[in-house]
Amino acid sequence: MTLDDRKATILRAVVAEYIETAQPVGSGHVAQAPGVNVSSATVRNDMALLEQEGYLVQPHTSAGRVPTEKGYRFFVDHLGSPDQLVGADAQQVRSFFRAAHGELEQVLQDTSRLLAGLTQYAAVVVGPPHEAATIRSVQLVGLTPRVALLVMVLSNGVIEKRTLEFDHDVEELELAAAALALAPRVVGETLASAAACAVPVDEQLDGTTGPAAITRRAVAALAPDEHHDEQVFIGGASRMASAFDAVAQVSEILQILEQQYVVVSLLRDVLDRGLNVAIGTETGMVPLADCAVIVSPYLVDGETAGTIGVLGPTRMNYPQALAAVAVVSQRLGHRLSEG
């Protein structure tokens, strides 16, 4: 399963050139690549072996070779020292995070654009899950006589809101009273724990009107939505499009990107398998057979908080994209740790 030095060098050269040109690579080109100091005939022999071992394929007999998933996999697993971003890009990242300020959502959204701009592929930024955040404040605001808004500020700066609809008019005073009753019970709790531990308390109370009923309604609405536990921001889907040549394929990939919870679970899945790169079928999604995903968690205050990722073609520029993801995830974590 392990390759000798020369074959590894040749494989690397093939992948590198294919990434650049998107054309099958012939032995002649490889022989001229730096580090390969053998003739094209020797390269040919080794390429034939590499094909037998499943690292390369020939689209047709008289053509050069193209990396298989296994080939890409070897390439990323044996990259040696991780690349640095080129100066201009590094500069861009620095000045971006120096200027980044304001709302969490805005920062995450802009970060996804930044990453997309750096890599020329689609970028995904998943915000910190609300799971872990505790409730800082609770408020009940009437919008119409029968509709009120439950507004909670979480410790990570995210705001959760729930619409409460009643089948009878509700007074502002009742809302205020309900909010007062609610606050001591839920402040300091997470959404989930607040929803769980507050329920039994409420079941004892009865009646369909008055503050107690409102409190009960509010508690019932607390539980975190299945799919909205974390925020997802996707940037640069348009850039990814240019990396493919069939419109139908682009459309399928966009369709996946539109289902944000699918993207989130894809990233989570990859991380759970202990990977930070998933190539082709490794993504587990059929329409992504020609795509690769790079994932990296970012740390806020030393704990993994969210995830960023890049989605591009299997022949993406791995060294550069890996470097970009690494730098951005590190800087983003830093930025969010400051508070």
Partner DNA sequence: GTTAGCAGTCGGTATCATCGAGTGCTGGCC
Partner DNA sequence: GGCCAGCACTCGATGATACCGACTGCTAAC
Residues that bind DNA (CB under 7 A): 6, 23-29, 37-42, 44-45, 47-48, 51, 58-65
- Among positions 94, 98, 146, 334, the unique one binding a second copy when judged by CB under 8 A: 146
Q: How far is CA 251 from the centre of its chain?
A: 20
Q: Which of 123, 237, 279, 336 binds a second copy (CB under 8 A)?
A: 237
Among 22, 86, 159, 197, binds a second copy (CB under 8 A): 159
Q: Residues 217, 166: contact at Cβ < 8 Å?
A: yes
By rule CB under 8 A, what string of x and - marks binding of each residue 255-294 to a second copy?
Answer: x-xx------------------------------------
Nearer to DNA, 18 or 166 (CB): 18
- CA pair distance 209, 206, nearest whole angstrom: 9
Q: What angle do CA 236, 241, 247 make, to 5 degrees?
A: 150
**Residue 186 binds to a second copy (criterion: CB under 8 A):** no
Q: What does 173 bind: DNA, a second copy, none (CB cut-off 5 to 8 Å by kind)? A: none
Quick one: CA dihedral 174, 180, 186, 191, positive or negative?
positive
Binding residue (CB under 8 A) for a second copy from 162, 177, 195, 210: 162
In one-letter notation, the amino acid at residue 265 is S
Closest CA to 121 of 262, 320, 335: 320
Which phi and psi (to 5°) does residue 300 adopt? -115, 125
In the complex with a second copy, the residue whose CB is nearer, 44 or 185, is 185
Q: Please, what is the minimum distance in Å from the beta carbon of residue 236 to a second copy? A: 7
* Beta strand ranges found along the chain (DSSP E): 56-57, 66-67, 122-126, 135-144, 147-154, 159-165, 232-235, 277-279, 291-300, 303-313
Nearer to a second copy, 206 or 258 (CB): 258
Among 38, 49, 57, 141, binds a second copy (CB under 8 A): 141
Beta strands in 202-288 (DSSP E): 232-235, 277-279
Stretch that binds a second copy, among 6-14, 23-31, 161-169, 193-201 (CB under 8 A): 161-169
Q: Residue 50: which region, alpha, beta or left (left: phi > 0; alpha: psi -120 to 50)?
A: alpha
Give the pair of three-digit tokens for residue 1.
Answer: 């399963």
Find out whether 281 and 269 touch, Cβ atoms under 8 Å: no
Q: Which stretch binds a second copy (CB under 8 A): 26-34, 251-259, 270-278, 315-323?
A: 251-259
Kind plus residue range of the DSSP H or E element containing 213: helix 210-222
Which range, of 43-51, 79-87, 198-206, 248-256, touches a second copy by CB under 8 A? 248-256
How far apart are the two ends of the chain, measured CA to CA in Å?
A: 47
Min dist. Cβ of residue 242 to DNA (A): 20
Query: Does residue 246 bind a second copy (CB under 8 A)?
Result: yes
Q: Which of a second copy, DNA, none does 242 bind, CB closer than 5 to 8 A by kind? A: a second copy
Using CB under 8 A as the criterion, which residues of the chain lie in contact with a second copy when the complex forms? 101-104, 136-137, 139, 141-144, 146-147, 149, 151, 153, 155-157, 159, 161-163, 165, 235-239, 241-242, 244-248, 250-255, 257-258, 339
